[in-house]
Amino acid sequence: MIRRAACALFAAAAWPAAAQPVMHLPVDCALGETCFIQNYPDHDPGPGFSDFTCGPLGYDGHDGTDFALLSLAAMQAGVAVLAPADGVVTGTRDGMQDIAVNDPAAPPLDGRDCGNGLAIDHGGGWVSQLCHLAQGSVTVRTGDRVTAGQPVGRVGLSGRTEFPHVHLSLRQGDRKVDPFAPDPAAACGGPAQPGLWAAPIAYAPGGLVGAGITDHAPDYAAIQSAPPATTPLPRSAPALVAWALLYGTRSGDRLAMRLTGPDGTVAEDSSTVERTQARSYRYIGRRAPPGGWPAGDYRASLTLTRGGTVIARHEARVTVGP
């Protein structure tokens, strides 16, 4: 769940290392390919936000880690939520509608910010919570014993969320714990902590969720719902447009986009990101020349840099003609 007071919970007493759970990825996806981390827990005890690296991936009071899918279409295809560690289910909720909280048709949450989900007791006072599961997908009940990696539901859009993801929070007693940096005494951006993950999860400071080439300028809602497929296009296509969906961009980042074809550069742009955003998109393109597009292969190359360092690259290709 989302609670503003959660940001102060990282200032608790020294972290006990005994009986800590070994955490596994709570969703059946490939990080950096079919899913990504949109938000991390808040380590700033004040009104601002800071993730465990002192970065901006999250928002004030966020008390867990958000593992996001690339689109609504991916959610609708079905992606399993997995138990993050061995334990016993202590509570579940199901039956809430899959609808973005900012949709005018969304019903009142009445305090059920987590949406459909469950809590798991891992022993030693450690409890995890999984939120925003799909309606009707929760497959376990209170009292069930689960093992790490066991499917317990599907990624959904229930509760207080605007995009399909599973929110994983962890606590020991009354203290919220960041599995990437569980020692509350450590300052953000300090020496790397071992974390609680069975397999280390690399920190991604933001990047490109997806990219493609199509024959029109897609709107943001369409890209988030079901990104247009990069499929062969006819020479009569009215335009060629390269698009990119980004996450975790910061003010000052630079995005270079270039669309090339058999006759060289079709369109290109290099621009500075003006403000920090959780998600955004960009596109470049050109209307068809007289007589249509030359047949052949076209390629979109995208590079996101921060402080002169490349943090993400992506390429998309499409065949035009004959």
Q: What is the pLDDT of residues 14-71, one digit of tens each?
A: 444 447 899 999 999 999 889 999 999 999 988 989 999 998 899 999 999 999 999 9
The region of weakest confidence among 120-124, 148-152, 186-190, 295-299 is: 186-190
C-alpha to C-alpha distance for 283 and 254, rounded to whole angstroms? 14
Q: What is the pLDDT of residues 75-116, one digit of tens each?
A: 999 999 999 999 999 999 999 999 999 999 999 999 999 999
Helix (H, G, I), strand (E, B) or coil at 6: helix
C-alpha to C-alpha distance for 253 and 248, rounded to whole angstroms? 10
CA atoms within 13 A on the CB side of 13: 4
Q: pLDDT band at residue 9, thresholds of 50, 70 and 90? A: very low
Domains 4-11+22-177 and 207-320 agree in fold = no
Compute the residue count for the chain: 322
| C-alpha R_g of the chain | 22
* Structural domain spans, the chain: 4-11+22-177, 207-320
C-alpha to C-alpha distance for 21 and 44, rounded to whole angstroms? 24
For domain 4-11+22-177, give its CATH number from 1.10.260.40, 1.10.287.110, 2.70.70.10, 1.20.1440.120. 2.70.70.10
| Residue pair 60/40 in contact by the 8 Å Cβ criterion | no
Q: What is the pLDDT of residues 243-260, one digit of tens each?
A: 999 999 999 999 999 999
Residues above pLDDT 90, as percent of the chain: 78
C-alpha to C-alpha distance for 144 and 112, rounded to whole angstroms? 22
Query: Quick one: pLDDT at residue 11?
Result: 32
CATH 1.10.10.10 at 207-320, yes or no: no
